[in-house]
Amino acid sequence: MQTKYNLLRQHFEELFALTDDEWNFVQSHFQYKSLKKHQFLIQAGQAVDFEYWIIKGLVKAYSIDDKGKEHILQFAMEKYWVSDHCAFQHQEPGTIFVDCLEDSEFFCLSLENREKICLEVPAVANFFRIKSNYGYINLQQRILSLLTMTAESRYEYLLNKLPKLIQRVPKKLIASYLGVSRETLSRFNS
Amino acid sequence: MQTKYNLLRQHFEELFALTDDEWNFVQSHFQYKSLKKHQFLIQAGQAVDFEYWIIKGLVKAYSIDDKGKEHILQFAMEKYWVSDHCAFQHQEPGTIFVDCLEDSEFFCLSLENREKICLEVPAVANFFRIKSNYGYINLQQRILSLLTMTAESRYEYLLNKLPKLIQRVPKKLIASYLGVSRETLSRFNS
DNA sequence: AGCTAAAAGTGACCTAAATCACTTTTCAAA
DNA sequence: TTTGAAAAGTGATTTAGGTCACTTTTAGCT
């Protein structure tokens, strides 16, 4: 288990160094969780008590529309953070589902604990500040890709950007992420 | 001018309180800028030296595709932050344009100064952390709206969410923001 | 290894929205 | 207050991508 915590420490320290004391304090605010493939991390309608850092595995975050169709908001794997951020931040019932595409392990951080470690350890506040900023930048680019590119070029773009992901995820889910039907994606390209 | 700085201080203090000393330090890292309608704040291809807080006015942030068509990434008005965040963060040439839809005034923050005040004043780091997080949440919702909703319901949704904005912005720009053609938008609704 | 279910591919057809071309309305600057 | 330009509306036509129905392939399970 300590090895797993060390992975998280390394993740924090990619951006800002922490003293051992700081790290021990921070670490004590996370809890471990493990799920099998097909199990839910978050379900719409329920409370979202945590933000999750993925130690190992792969999940999809998605919403389900009135016709029962699923729309993928995010794939998240090792070293990614995932949650229903909106529900988590506002401590409201969630609107999206997150489930495991592979057996997965997580470190869980509650809102209360997040605020506590951010206020206590400025390096952690700065860590989340920069991480959120990168996340924001990524979403802006995804929005631009939805506004400016055809479905086919979004697919090519994703193939280049995250080739490893494509191999771990069924194409029908890639289609859902890109906002295209499975059949249309199947008719693309190479 | 001090009145304008006070607006910015209030904006920071909506999330975390600052001492007068802290504020004086923070304030000294911003510079004032004013532009007339139709002037550019940021242009694709050029360095992006600042992030901007809007004191007064309204701008659009957009990219131009290979066919010369403009796609609106964001509208930003009083109390909003705007920049080419990607280019700014990586200190690379920009890829988007930001120009003024009305005469506008800004406070400008360089990357170096942002990092300086965040490291010096933890409340500022926490401020930007929370702001970025809210921004992230908003973009996730916009992505979901692009994936799950028809153009018409996205329009209705926007009418409810930001009625004031609609009145300040030509409909053809709203169309571009929603990812619909001007003509199609014009055929909608009520 | 054999079997079931999920995933992927494919043809035929349909539709939301884009595009093009033109008219009408609104607005801002002289 | 006129006037020229930008914005908005509208009809006709096209098109990217969706939907439906079915077949083939792949991947987990016992």
Whole-number Å distance, CA B156 to C1' D12? 27
Please tell me which of the candidates A73, A85, A140 has its beta carbon nearest to residue B85.
A140
Position B135 scores a pLDDT of: 98
Q: Which residues pair with B158 in a beta bridge?
A: none
Asked if residue A174 belongs to a domain, the reply is: no
Task: Please calculate the CA angle B47-B52-B55 and round it to the nearest 5 degrees.
Answer: 150
Asked if residue A178 belongs to a domain, the reply is: no
Asked if residue B102 belongs to a domain, the reply is: yes
Dihedral (C-alpha) A140, A176, A146, B144: value to the nearest 10 degrees? -60
Whole-number Å distance, CA A101 to C1' D7? 49
What's the token pair of residue B32? Answer: 């004032």
Asked if residue B189 belongs to a domain, the reply is: no
Please tell me which of the candidates A122, A137, A141 has its beta carbon nearest to residue B125.
A122
What's the token pair of residue B176? Answer: 């571009």
Element (H, E) at A89: helix A85-90
Contact B29, B117 (CB under 8 A): yes
Task: Please calculate the CA angle B9-B15-B17 and round it to the nearest 5 degrees.
Answer: 60
Chain-chain contact of B136 with A73 (C-beta, under 8 angstroms): no
Position A189 scores a pLDDT of: 72
Position A190 scores a pLDDT of: 54
**Beta-strand runs (E) in A16-153:** 31-35, 40-42, 50-56, 58-64, 70-77, 81-82, 97-100, 104-110
Backbone dihedral angles phi then psi of residue A2, each to the nearest 5 degrees? -60, -35
- Using CA atoms, how far apart are residues B96 and A138, in angstroms rounded to an integer? 15
For residue A76, list chain B residues with Cβ-Cβ distance below 8 A: none
Contact B112, B51 (CB under 8 A): no
> Residue A31: helix, strand or coil by DSSP?
strand
Rounded to the nearest angstrom, the minimum Cα separation between B69 and chain A is 9
Whole-number Å distance, CA A47 to C1' C17? 38
Query: HEC states along B92-150?
Result: CECCCEEEECCCEEEEEEEHHHHHHHHHHCHHHHHHHHHHHHHHHHHHHHHHHHHHHCC
Percent of chain B with pLDDT over 70: 99
Rounded to the nearest angstrom, the minimum Cα separation between B104 and chain A is 23
Ranges in chain B, pLDDT < 50:
none
Instruction: Express each pLDDT in B50-74 by its tens digit.
Output: 999 999 999 999 999 988 899 999 9
Whole-number Å distance, CA B98 to C1' D1? 35
Asked if residue B131 belongs to a domain, the reply is: no
The interaxial angle of helices A20-27 and A2-13, nearest 10 deg, is 120
- What is the pTM assigned to this prediction? 0.95
Backbone dihedral angles phi then psi of residue A53, each to the nearest 5 degrees? -105, 130
A135 in contact with B, Cβ within 8 Å: yes
Task: Give the nearest nucleotide to B187, CA to C1'.
Answer: D9
Asked if residue B114 belongs to a domain, the reply is: yes
Nucleotides on strand C with an atom closer than 7 A to protein CB? 6-12, 16-21
Instruction: Express each pLDDT in A134-190 by its tens digit.
Output: 999 999 999 999 999 999 999 999 999 999 899 899 999 999 999 999 999 999 975
Q: Which residues pair with B108 in a beta bridge?
A: B31, B52
- Using CA atoms, how far apart are residues A45 and A34, in angstroms rounded to an integer? 22
Position B1 scores a pLDDT of: 87
Length of chain B: 190
How many distinct structural domains can be found in chain A? 1
B179 in contact with A, Cβ within 8 Å: yes
CA of residue B152 relative to chain centroid, distance? 24
What is the arrangement of strands in the sheet containing B104-110, beginning at the earlier edge strand? B31-35, B104-110, B50-56, B81-82
What range does the domain containing A40 cover? 1-118
Distances (CA, A) of B3 to A169, B8, B59: 54, 9, 22
Termini Cα distance of chain B: 43
B64 in contact with A, Cβ within 8 Å: no
Asked if residue A138 belongs to a domain, the reply is: no
Write the CB contacts of B82 (distance below 8 Å, at least 6 apart in sequence): B41, B51, B52, B54, B59, B61, B74, B76, B98
Average pLDDT for runs of 10 along chain A of length 190: 94 98 98 95 97 97 91 96 98 96 97 98 98 98 95 94 92 96 89
- Using CA atoms, how far apart are residues B155 and B158, in angstroms rounded to an integer? 5
- What residue in A sits closest to B136 (Cα-Cα)? A136
Asked if residue A92 belongs to a domain, the reply is: yes
B-contacting residues in A 32-51 (Cβ below 8 Å): none
For residue A118, list chain B residues with Cβ-Cβ distance below 8 A: 126, 129
- Using CA atoms, how far apart are residues A166 and B27, in angstroms rounded to an integer? 47
For chain B, the farthest-separated pair of C-alpha atoms sits apart, in whole angstroms, at 56
A129 in contact with B, Cβ within 8 Å: yes
What's the token pair of residue B54? Answer: 């809007």
What CATH number does the domain containing B75 carry? 2.60.120.10
Q: Which residues of B108-140 are buried (b: 16+ CB within 10 A; e: fewer)?
A: bbebebbebbbeebbbbbbbbbbbbbbbbbebb
